[in-house]
């Protein structure tokens, strides 16, 4: 009597279990995945309307900070090469202007040498002159050594000298002019830093634990300001400033130039997005 009953109970339990499993499977299958990762490419329109220009002239920068890198030359070189490959504008190869000297000339009343007539591509453009009576930076004392942002500030008046930039524009047949300031300076700091530390327990299992340690670090700070000038009018069309820094362990010896390029690498897409349309790749989650 007990035997068959036990058998029936066991069969019933199996049936219920199978039914539950089947229902669960059906439920999971019905629900499926409710989200899907999908790669997207967002087209970004340029911030500036560059359609009136066929050519771009990266003329030079007022640069300061460390002496280990000539930030003026390096920035011009880097931006020109990026624009050559990633923009539709033709890049003008001209001598890089020593804008610090030019700004100082202008502040001291400038040389009135107007003999710099239009020159072809590859030749030096005119130095600042005040022949047109335009003297916006005159009378302002400009620091000889640019070590920080405060030293750079008085030089910014140079970009408001529309007569000067118009003259350069005429020289190169009205291109879009790219100029600005670049501060690339040493930076050192100390404090607590969170780092991942690898440990092994008694069974040899690896664990990674976040640890706060006091560290002295040194590195560099890069603070460029890109100024876009309309070569037809000499007026500033747009400007944008950025700040990036990189810090290493104080014992680590990283060349200044490689740090400069590492920092510029982070900024170049932003610079290019001012002039040309870009596609930014990313991933998003689609939901059901």
Partner 1 sequence: MNIRAVGIVASVALLAAVPASADAKKDAKSQVEFGINVAQRGLWREAIYRWEKATQIDPTYAAAYNDLAIGYEHEGQLDKARKAYEKALELDPNNSQVRQNYELFKEINDRTAQKDK
User: Which residues of this protein are in contact with partner 1, per CB under 8 A?
Assistant: 35-36, 38, 40-45, 47, 238-243, 270, 273, 280, 282, 284-288
CB of 163 to partner 1, least distance (A): 23
Could you give the CA distance from residue 238 to residue 226 in angstroms, rounded to a whole number?
Answer: 8
CB of 27 to partner 1, least distance (A): 17
Give 34 or 201: the residue with its C-beta nearer to partner 1.
34
Nearest to 127 by CA among 164, 159, 94: 164
Per-residue tokens: 15: 């049936």
Per-residue tokens: 23: 């229902």
**Phi, psi of 257, rounded to the nearest 5 degrees:** -65, -40
What are the b/e assignments for 31-48, b being 16+ CB within 10 Å? Answer: eeeeeeeeeeeeeeeeeb
Could you give the CA distance from residue 125 to residue 127 in angstroms, rounded to a whole number?
Answer: 7
Give 23 or 280: the residue with its C-beta nearer to partner 1.
280
Give 47 or 90: the residue with its C-beta nearer to partner 1.
47
Give 37 or 198: the residue with its C-beta nearer to partner 1.
37
Q: Which residue has the tokens 């022949």?
A: 131
Give 111 or 236: the residue with its C-beta nearer to partner 1.
236
Burial (CB < 10 A; 0-12, 13-18, 19+), residue 109, is exposed
Give 61 or 172: the residue with its C-beta nearer to partner 1.
61
CB of 225 to partner 1, least distance (A): 9
Per-residue tokens: 190: 């100390």
CB of 45 to partner 1, least distance (A): 7
CB of 35 to partner 1, least distance (A): 6
Do residues 238 and 48 lie in contact, with contact meaning Cβ atoms separated by under 8 Å?
yes
CB of 87 to partner 1, least distance (A): 17
């Amino acid at each position: 009597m007990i035997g068959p009953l036990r058998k029936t109970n066991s069969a019933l339990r199996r049936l219920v279990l199978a039914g539950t499993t089947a229902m669960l499977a059906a439920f999971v299958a019905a629900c499926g995945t409710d989200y899907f990762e999908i790669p997207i490419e967002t087209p970004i329109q340029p911030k500036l309307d560059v359609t009136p220009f066929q050519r771009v002239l990266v003329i030079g920068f007022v640069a300061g900070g460390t002496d280990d890198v000539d930030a003026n030359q390096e920035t011009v070189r880097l931006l020109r090469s990026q624009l050559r490959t990633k923009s539709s504008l033709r890049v003008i190869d001209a001598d890089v202007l020593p804008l610090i000297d030019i700004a100082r000339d202008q502040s001291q009343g400038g040389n009135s040498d107007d003999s710099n007539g239009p020159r072809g591509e590859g030749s030096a453009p005119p130095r600042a002159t005040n022949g047109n009576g335009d003297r916006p930076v005159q009378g302002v004392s400009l620091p000889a050594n640019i070590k920080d942002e405060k030293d750079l500030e008085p030089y910014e008046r140079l970009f408001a000298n529309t007569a000067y930039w118009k003259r350069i524009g005429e020289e190169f047949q009205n291109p879009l002019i790219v100029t600005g300031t670049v501060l690339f300076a040493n930076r050192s700091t100390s404090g607590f830093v969170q780092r991942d530390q690898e440990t092994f327990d008694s069974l040899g299992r690896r664990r990674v634990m976040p640890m706060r340690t006091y560290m002295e670090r040194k590195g560099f700070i890069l603070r460029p300001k890109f100024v876009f000038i309309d070569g037809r009018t000499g007026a500033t069309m747009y400007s944008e400033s950025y700040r990036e820094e990189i810090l290493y362990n104080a014992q680590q010896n990283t060349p200044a130039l490689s740090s400069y390029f590492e920092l510029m690498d982070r900024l170049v897409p932003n610079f290019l997005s001012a002039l040309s349309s870009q596609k930014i790749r990313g991933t998003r989650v689609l939901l059901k």
